[in-house]
Structure 1
Amino acid sequence: MQGTTPTLLADGFLFLEAPKWRDGQLWVSDVFDHKVHSLTGDGKRSRSLEIPNRPSGLNFLSDGTLVIVSAKDRKLLRYDGSSLCEHADLSAHTDWWLNDFAVDAHDRIYVGDFGYDFVANAPPRATKLHRVDPDGSVTVVASEVDFPNGSVVINGGRTLVVAETWKARICAFDIAQDGALTNRRLFADLAGRQPDGICADEEGAIWAGIYNTGEFVRVLDGGVITDSIKFDGSSISCTLGGETGKRLFMTAFLGTEADMAAGNRKSSVFYVDL
């Protein structure tokens, strides 16, 4: 798909993360604006939720409930279409901000955290993945994961795939029937490309936003990159949706680090039809 020109869906945001499509709406976190927005298929904002402690990862439970990472207080919130409430509190289990997560077919949530004081520019350290079960219990399911970021469940619920941003790689785990993670392995070495948000297509290939190169790449298990879409800025996260399920929605920041620090609204959603 080299040379493909993405279409602008919506702009005027601060920093968009974790897009997810459900029931004709695109939900997305505007991290620095402390809001979660739903957008219609033509890009109009239909609903906005205030998340004071900084939203991050988003995903849906099987009944359509939206789960939102509240990063700074290290909680998962849920939104049932009318009200927000706490889904799980991980503040006793993690020392640093929560980041992104994936949900399996049993509504078990696999969530990562920063692992170190990112804001203070402390040296990066490996961290853990936690599983939050439907009853609210929290279990450590993996350790020594380096800045776990975008995550997705593939292979009919049998595999969890996780982007490790600073290590420029994507790892994978087998998901046991009881939700345990085993057989950790390398899914893709991205050779310096730092993956942020990810999603999977129907063939099990991973689309990843590459923050440091401005690309969205499609990568196979083993590391072969089959497609690339380039932006002049930072590529952040992506999801598949739309009426056919084959529209790739991508969030990008089309500016510099100085623009970001200044609060310039240069984050946008684009799409291509695959």
Structure 2
Amino acid sequence: MKGNFNMSEVQTLLSGLAFGESPRWHEGRLWFSHWGTNEVVAVDLEGKSEVVVRVPTTLPFCIDWLPDGRLLVVSGREGLLLRREPDGELVTHATLSSLASIWNEIVVDGRGNIYVNGGAFDAPGVIALVTPDGTVRQVADGLAFPNGMVVMPDNRTLIVAESYATRLTAFDIDADGRLSNRRVWADLQGLAPDGICLDVEGAVWYASVPGKCCARVREGGEVVQTIQLDRGCFACMLGGGDRQALFMVAAEWHGFEHMMDQAHTGQVLITHAPAPGAGWP
């Protein structure tokens, strides 16, 4: 199936946000990091939302879950990976500050390995691995502003969006969680990818802020669907009961220096995807 969607096929689930990031489908709701408010928000399919967690950081911060259901929060500027305990307390799960000055996105694979990426705007990015026993080590470097990540259902491939290089890059995941065999998975021809998610057909949806779109691409770079929006798209996630609802978080974008001094133009948008979600997150 190829083709473009128009805005009439996209519904607004939530509006009036600052900047939504790191959307995740979890326990019947879409959870996301609400940048600019220090909140993690969850919204159901009827548009009813609540603040689930307040976090002691500014931005960036992103979320995922351990296999036992405890929430993880990347405290980006502090170089910490936080864990939410059953009583609601946020504690330090791992310290990442020795590997990079700022941290961004996270994905937890099916074996409980945690991958977090980071790096300053003017420095090469890295990926760190936090293993289930708590060991922290760098497993990739030289990335051009790493952003969203996905892990294939078999836990053998990780794909990361390199925003500044306008491409998706894949790695093999070795038995011990290390990454190897780096390769270009898809060249996106100048459309800087931000957040990404994976479907059962092996295609990746990627959000693009400068492109004001969310697009579905196959390995090798063939773009098979594009949803054009009226503002920058920061991230996307497949969810819903059948994992075939495509959620997109979008907002007007006027540069990093103006992130916190403009109207709340952020939205959570929803449409129907041609294939259900797969893999992690």
Q: TM-score, length-normalised on structure 1? A: 0.92
Q: Does 1:17 align with 2:21?
A: yes
- The equivalent residue for 1:74 is 79
**d(CA) in 1 for partners of 2:15 and 2:143?**
33
2:38 aligned partner: 34
CA distance, structure 2, for counterparts of residue 99 and residue 70 of structure 1: 8
Question: Contact 2:187–2:221 (CA<8 Å) still a contact in 1?
Answer: yes
Alignment RMSD: 1.7
Aligned partner of 1:98 in structure 2 is 103
Structure 2 match to 1:241: 239
Deviation per residue, 1:181-230 (Å, 9 max, x gap): 11100001101000000000111211000111101010111111000001
Aligned length: 266
Report if the CA contact (8 A) 2:155-2:173 is conserved. Answer: yes
Partner of 1:121: none
* 1:259 CA drift (Å): 6.8
What amino acid is the match of 1:3? F
- 1:49-85 CA-partner distances (Å, limit 9, x unpaired): 2222135221122222221111110111122454122
> Any stretches of 5+ residues in structure 1 without a counterpart?
119-123
Measured against aligned partners, the alpha-carbon deviations of 1:159-195 in whole angstroms (never above 9, x if no partner) come to 0000000110110000011111111000011010000
Question: Counterpart amino acid of 2:43?
Answer: L
The question of 1:44 aligning with 2:48 is answered: yes
Equivalent residue number for residue 279 of structure 2: none
User: What residue ranges of structure 2 are gaps of 5+ in the alignment?
Assistant: 274-281
Shift of 1:107: 0.9
Query: 2-side partners of 1:71 and 1:43: how far apart?
Result: 28
Moved over 4 A (4+): 255-259
Which residue identity lines up with residue 226 of structure 1 in the other structure? V
Post-superposition CA distance 1:97-155 (Å, at most 9, x none): 10002111111111111x22x4xxxxx32122110112221011111111111001015
Given that residues 210 and 216 in structure 1 are in contact (C-alpha distance below 8 angstroms), is that contact kept between their aligned partners in structure 2? yes
Q: Determine the structure 2 residue equivalent to 1:199.
A: 197
Query: What fraction of aligned residue pairs are identical, expressed as a percent?
Result: 36
1:1-274 alignment to 2 at 5 Å? 1-4=3-6, 5-54=9-58, 55-80=60-85, 82-83=87-88, 84-94=90-100, 96-113=101-118, 115-116=119-120, 118=121, 124-254=122-252, 256-257=254-255, 260-274=259-273
Q: Could you say what secondary structure the match of 1:88 adopts?
A: strand
* Contact 1:249-1:272 at 8 Å conserved across structures: yes
Cα distance in 1 for partners of 2:163, 2:82 equals: 24
1:3 is displaced (CA, Å) by: 2.9
Q: How far apart are the structure 2 equivalents of 1:158 and 1:171?
A: 14
Cα distance in structure 2, aligned partners of 1:259 and 1:138: 34
